[in-house]
Structure 1
Amino acid sequence: MDIGSLQRIAWDNKVLKGYNTTDLPLEFCMLQEKAAASFTAWRRGKEILGEELADIVLYVSSIAEMTGLDLQHEVKEKVDKNAARPD
């Protein structure tokens, strides 16, 4: 699955389930909560770390959709920029 497809699937699921699609500050707060939950899962050696990290990706995808960004394009641009930096 590419990032663009993931972004659309995550968004369609939010719409279908009636989840937040308009409150951007709330979405950023939920992203922070998921990042904290991921850290806690890692620190405690819990098996749900992968699930928590996946939640982060889904929240980031939703934020990109809410702000009209093509996340796949943005990630590619950033990867290229990082690759071009001197060591």
Structure 2
Amino acid sequence: MHIQDYQKAILQNKIDHQFNTTNIEKEFLALYGEVAEAFDAYRKMESVGEELADVAIYLFGIAELLQIDLEREIQTKMKINASRRYVANGNGYATRVDDAENDEEKR
């Protein structure tokens, strides 16, 4: 199955079970809640996979409600990310070099 197939199946499940399909803000809040549950499961080392699946289900559902081809968007964004340059800053995160250069130009 492709992501778009999952998106359609997730929306159909929402319709079949009379879940929300109109309030996008509510869906984003529910997604946020699922991310929090996944983090909590990670900390407790229990059912992380199941919670991450819930995150994906909400994300794919939102994409379908908004008529976004998430698979295409992911592919496009991964190409953009692959061409970006980063520099490690020693705290486990990296700073995008392009952003740092743009910040310098603005000054």
What is the match of residue 50 of structure 1? 49
Instruction: Name structure 1 gaps, 5 residues minimum.
Output: none
Corresponding residue SS for 1:42: helix
Count of residue correspondences:
86
Identity over the aligned pairs, expressed in percent?
A: 37
Q: Distance in 2 between matches of 1:85 and 1:12?
A: 37
Q: Distance in 1 between matches of 2:64 and 2:4?
A: 10
For the pair shown, the structure with the greater C-alpha radius of gyration is 2
Moved over 4 A (4+): none
Q: Distance in 1 between matches of 2:61 and 2:45?
A: 28
What is the match of residue 40 of structure 1? 40
What is the match of residue 73 of structure 1? 72
Comparing both structures, which one devotes a greater share of its residues to helix?
1
Q: Report the Cα offset of residue 86 of structure 1.
A: 2.9
Q: What is the root-mean-square deviation in Å for CA atoms of aligned residues?
A: 1.0
What is the match of residue 28 of structure 2? 28
Comparing both structures, which one devotes a greater share of its residues to strand?
2
- String of CA shifts for 1:41-84, please: whole Å, max 9, x gaps: 000111x1101000111101111111121111111111111112
What is the match of residue 13 of structure 1? 13
TM-score (norm 1): 0.92
Instruction: Name structure 2 gaps, 5 residues minimum.
Output: 87-107
Q: Distance in 2 between matches of 1:67 and 1:45?
A: 33
What is the match of residue 60 of structure 1? 59
